[in-house]
């Protein structure tokens, strides 16, 4: 490899790392921004979660087409299309802030969130194999993906914190333009990544064992453990997003219904707590990467889903009856702030959800052989659960209370517990792969 090629690869790797982070940045923008729209439309949590719903809804339409784009256009062009789409999506959200607050502005914002969903779906399909390619495969390629995953989690941590800090306390005057700094950062990263990636030559990886001559006698749907695994992925992403997203709404709500009653800069505190959840996911992923070779995915998932259920039940039972002091960023400084104890238990759920995606994916695709690629595309579609379940959860919150709404992630956790113990067993080993 020449010096220029080596330098180009380093730049490409750094660019992909930024994109890895931006996937989480854009994805996790929906829930904290929803605090603004929730307030605009008279405190409706359902409305507040619609932006998140639109972002994830795009996966349903783009999951399989994104995989086909890789085959038709290659990894680099697909990445460029994804980056350009992401820039447009964020730009549309920015434009929504230029309109008078109301239905028209909200509709434009939702359109922007939907476009961003298409972008992150394309980028999610590209970034893992591209980093593996740039790393030369093997352990080095896997190492780069682990680093990228860490940046992804870090970005997810920062996003709600930054949005919350910019909002402070939600008032009737709070608008989209209050978070323009976040949108400027997103557009700048997308634009920079596009320019850099344009000038870096990147070859596509080999297709592998599956070719145009490969005969598919069945499909991934013929495998029971895969079918049950797709349900597990659907509910998992809903849990991952719904727990911190609803917690953010709960703490940002300064009425008697919410957990932010009496708190100054409640939105900032809510955003920080949601960010802490993502921080614990980062911690969990880091720790699990050291023990994954010694502990099976089934065991990891069984333990974490069981503990997660305990945390959620405790949050639902105790609610605001007890308080606890937690270190949070209030918008100006880090202070010990008294919050409902439910917040502590819900934040701790981040440790439990940290290993879920990898564990479910490993268990659901085990033994699929040549059907694995098809299975991955279907899995990408099931990410839509990150939009559906939080929306349903917040509809329940509007009709009852925030804490009662956590019955949704509780039941989802119970299903993942079942999948780990029983549903993940491959009972279709007679199918040739």
- Ranking 71-75, 182-186, 315-319, 428-432 by mean pLDDT, the lowest is 428-432
Q: Residue 79 pLDDT more than 90?
A: no
230 near 424, Cβ under 8 Å?
no
What pLDDT was estimated at residue 47? Answer: 79
Give the position of tokens 């219904």: 257
Query: Would you state the CATH architecture of domain 1-201?
Result: Up-down Bundle (1.20)
- Residue whose pair of structure tokens reads 């990636």 in the numeric block: 197
pLDDT tens by residue, 361-419: 888 888 777 677 677 778 888 888 988 999 999 999 999 999 999 999 999 999 999 99
Cα-based angle 158, 177, 346 (whole degrees, multiple of 5): 35
Instruction: Please give the average per-residue pLDDT across 10-16, as a whole number.
Output: 75
Helix (H, G, I), strand (E, B) or coil at 43: coil
More confident residue, 152 or 255: 255
Task: Domain ranges for the chain, please list them.
Answer: 1-201, 217-425
Per-residue pLDDT tens over the stretch 29-51? 776 777 777 777 776 778 788 88
How does the average pLDDT of the chain come out, rounded?
A: 81
Highest mean pLDDT among 39-53, 187-201, 221-235: 221-235
The answer to whether the beta carbons of residues 236 and 412 sit under 8 Å apart is yes
Whether 311 and 403 have beta carbons less than 8 Å apart is answered as no
Q: According to the model, what pLDDT value does residue 152 have?
A: 73
pLDDT exceeds cutoff 70 at 203: no
Q: What is the DSSP letter of 340?
A: E
CA distance 126 to 67: 9
Residue-level pLDDT at 207 = 45
- State the Cα–Cα distance between residues 83 and 354, nearest whole angstrom: 26
Neighbour count for residue 86 (Cβ, 10 Å): 30
For residue 176, which of 96, 269, 70 has the smallest C-alpha distance? 96
Please give the pLDDT value at position 51.
83
Q: What is the pLDDT of residue 169?
A: 59
Q: Do domains 1-201 and 217-425 have the same CATH topology?
A: yes
Give the pLDDT of residue 288. 79
Label residue 332 exposed, middle or buried (CB < 10 Å: 0-12, 13-18, 19+).
Answer: exposed
Token reading at 356: 């879920």
Q: Chain-centre distance of CA 246, in angstroms?
A: 14
Q: Identify the pLDDT of residue 89.
A: 92
pLDDT of amino acid 197? 82
Residue 217 has a pLDDT of 63
Tokens 């605090």, residue located = 35
Name the maximum alpha-carbon separation found in the chain: 66
Identify the pLDDT of residue 392.
93
* Helices and strands per DSSP (H, E), number in the chain: 16, 2
Apex CA 105: angle with CA 100 and CA 106, to 5°?
135
pLDDT for residue 154: 76
Residue 433, pLDDT > 60, answer no
**What would the mean pLDDT of 205-222 be, rounded to a whole number?**
60
Who wins on pLDDT, 322 or 148?
A: 322
Q: What is the pLDDT of residues 230-260, one digit of tens each?
A: 999 999 999 999 999 899 889 988 888 888 8
206: DSSP letter: P
Tell me the percentage of the chain whose pLDDT exceeds 90: 26
Give the range among 75-89, 216-230, 321-335 with minimum mean pLDDT. Answer: 321-335
Residues 6+ apart with CB under 8 A from 141: 131, 132, 133, 134, 135
Kindly report the number of other CB atoms within 10 A of residue 176's CB atom: 24
Report the CATH superfamily, name and number, of domain 217-425.
MFS general substrate transporter like domains (1.20.1250.20)
pLDDT value for 294: 79
- Burial track 15-41 (b if 16+ CB lie within 10 A, e otherwise): bbbbbbbbbbbbbbbbbbbbbbbbbbb
Q: Over 50: is that where the pLDDT of 349 sits?
A: yes
């Amino acid at each position: 490899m020449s010096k220029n090629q080596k330098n180009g690869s380093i730049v490409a790797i750094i660019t992909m790392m930024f994109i890895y982070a931006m996937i989480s940045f854009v994805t996790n923008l929906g829930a904290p921004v929803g605090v603004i729209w929730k307030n605009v439309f008279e405190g409706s949590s359902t409305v507040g979660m619609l932006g998140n719903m639109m972002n994830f809804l795009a996966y349903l339409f783009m999951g399989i087409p994104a995989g086909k784009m890789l085959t038709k256009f290659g990894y680099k062009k697909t990445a460029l299309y994804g980056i350009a789409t992401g820039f447009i999506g964020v730009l549309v959200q920015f434009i929504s802030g230029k309109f008078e607050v109301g239905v028209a502005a909200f509709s434009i914002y939702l359109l922007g969130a939907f476009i961003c969903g298409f972008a992150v779906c394309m980028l999610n399909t590209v970034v893992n194999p591209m980093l593996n390619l740039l790393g030369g495969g093997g352990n080095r390629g896997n190492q780069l993906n682990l680093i990228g995953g860490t940046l992804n989690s870090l970005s997810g941590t920062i996003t709600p914190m930054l949005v919350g800090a910019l909002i402070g306390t939600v008032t009737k005057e709070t608008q989209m333009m209050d978070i323009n700094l976040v949108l400027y950062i997103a557009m700048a990263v997308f634009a920079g990544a596009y320019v850099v990636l344009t000038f870096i030559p990147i070859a596509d990886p080999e297709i592998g064992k599956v070719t145009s001559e490969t005969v598919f006698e069945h499909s991934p749907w013929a495998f029971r453990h895969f079918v049950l695994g797709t349900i597990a992925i659907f509910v998992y992403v809903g849990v991952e997003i719904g727990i911190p997203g609803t917690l953010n709404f709960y703490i940002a709500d300064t009425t008697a219904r919410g957990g932010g009653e009496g708190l100054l800069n409640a939105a900032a505190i809510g955003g920080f707590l949601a960010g802490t959840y993502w921080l614990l996911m980062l911690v969990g992923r880091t720790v699990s990467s050291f023990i994954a070779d010694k502990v099976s995915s089934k065991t990891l998932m069984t333990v974490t889903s069981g503990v997660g259920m305990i945390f959620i039940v405790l949050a639902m039972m105790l609610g605001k009856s007890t308080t606890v002091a937690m270190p949070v960023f209030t918008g100006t400084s880090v202070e010990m702030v008294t919050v409902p104890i439910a917040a502590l238990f819900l934040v701790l759920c981040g440790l439990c959800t940290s290993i879920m995606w990898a564990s479910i994916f490993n268990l659901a695709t085990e033994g699929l052989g040549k059907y694995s690629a098809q299975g991955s595309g279907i899995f990408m579609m099931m990410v839509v659960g990150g939009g559906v379940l939080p929306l349903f959860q917040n509809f329940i919150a509007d009709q009852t209370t925030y804490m009662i709404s956590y019955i949704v992630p509780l039941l989802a956790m119970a299903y993942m517990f079942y999948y780990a113990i029983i549903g993940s067993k491959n009972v279709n080993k007679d199918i040739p792969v």
